[in-house]
Amino acid sequence: MIPACLSDDFILCPEREDISAEFTRLLTAAQEGGATIAECLMIARQLKRGDEQSWHREWKKLAQANRHRAEAAFTEGHMVTAQRNWLRAMNYYGAAAMPLDPADERRWVAVLAMQECARRFLTARAPAGEVVTIPWIEGHSLQGYFLPAPATNGRAPTVICIGEPGHRKEEFLVKLAPHARERGFSMLALDLLGDERDDYLDVLLQRRDIESSIASAMDYLELRSDVDFDRVAIVADGWGSSFVARAVLQEPRFAAAVCDGGLWDLHERSFFASRFAMSDLSIVPVPHAPLMASGAECPVLITLGEDGWLEADRAQQIVQKSRLGSSDVVLKVFTAAETGAAQAHADNPSLANEYIFDWLESQFGAAGKRI
């Protein structure tokens, strides 16, 4: 946890856990180029006690400074510096938007600025990325960023990266894209919000079929001439539900998947059974059968921090007792001693993502041998 008191004059909102978590995210993003530690500490010193609005104000100001540096570097032909500054500006705009109410116009302005920085980053990248629109449900489309693999001749293995229903895809350009690029993968960074404001989340959460979005993404990738469709995987980042696991259960076209494997559905099932003292778990409502109970058609990796929401011992018991059959389900638990042990590996996402993308690389190699 970041220390609350930074000096006698400045304090890092100790009463706001969300802000402390966001500050931790920004510090860990520095490992992948999404921030600088010096800038983060500078902002922390400038946050004023009792003035929560200072968080939005200071991060927006810093985002604008990085954005101006990016534009200047781009004009002068310095593409690497432009990309670095656009990524930092994008991340800082996201931080500025985070604590504001979804109905606050300033939040939407910050989100639009964040997305513009992402688009500018894609144009400066080599090979250039694309903003893609993917039809999903009537009246609403998915939006994604497609980042082609570097120096590929023909079709490349591809990873879909998606977060929870209210999560925005821009963070993946910092957090996951470097790992995909270094291994020669293309990446589709995706979110469910599309071009809607954050309060559209309420509409999404009323749907019982959000996992159908993944099939739409697969339909899109199948039509691309630069995607090796025999080697497409999905990574569910920061899972707190099992909608991706349910999608994997219904989608036979994946070569590999990184998700919670249905653990969250099983956890909720157990909670309701305990809450209502039900001995017959079959009558406890769950949206779909857990992936592990029914078996997936592709290898599945579940990563977990021992200090996360779900106890590691409990997760291991569920995996061991589930009807795996011939399913290839791997559980990796990160301990506090190695870091990456927090929920969603928030304390060291780089370590977890190295493991995840190494595992994907192994699965893609195995898939390649079967072709």
Given pLDDT bands bounded at 50, 70 and 90, which one contains residue 262? confident
The three-class DSSP label of residue 228 is strand
Given pLDDT bands bounded at 50, 70 and 90, which one contains residue 57? very high
Is residue 292 scored above 80 in pLDDT?
Answer: no
Task: Give φ, ψ of 261 to 5 degrees.
Answer: 65, 15
Q: Tell me, what's the pLDDT at 270?
A: 58
Q: Are 122 and 79 in contact (CB under 8 A)?
A: no
* Cα 37–Cα 180–Cα 251 angle in degrees, nearest 5: 125
Given pLDDT bands bounded at 50, 70 and 90, which one contains residue 286? very low
Q: Are 302 and 319 in contact (CB under 8 A)?
A: yes
Q: What is the 3-state secondary structure (H, E, C) of 322-345?
A: CCCCCCCEEEEEECCCCCCCCHHH
Q: Tell me, what's the pLDDT at 303?
A: 92
How many whole angstroms separate alpha carbon 103 and alpha carbon 84? 31
The three-class DSSP label of residue 109 is helix
Task: Give φ, ψ of 218 to 5 degrees.
Answer: -65, -40
Given pLDDT bands bounded at 50, 70 and 90, which one contains residue 80? very high
Q: Other CB atoms closer than 10 Å to residue 327's CB: what's the count?
A: 18
DSSP state, 3?
-
Q: Are 189 and 172 in contact (CB under 8 A)?
A: yes
Cβ neighbours of residue 280 closer than 8 Å, sequence gap 6 or more = none
Q: Tell me, what's the pLDDT at 283?
A: 43
pTM over 0.95: no
Per residue in 191-212, pLDDT (tens digit) is 999 999 999 999 998 998 999 9
- What distances in angstroms separate CA 268 from CA 49, 137, 204, 212, 310, one per listed residue? 39, 27, 20, 21, 11
Segment among 2-16, 126-140, 242-256, 343-357 with least mean pLDDT = 2-16
Q: Tell me, what's the pLDDT at 343?
A: 85
The three-class DSSP label of residue 56 is helix
Per residue in 305-345, pLDDT (tens digit) is 898 877 778 777 777 766 544 468 888 999 999 999 888 89
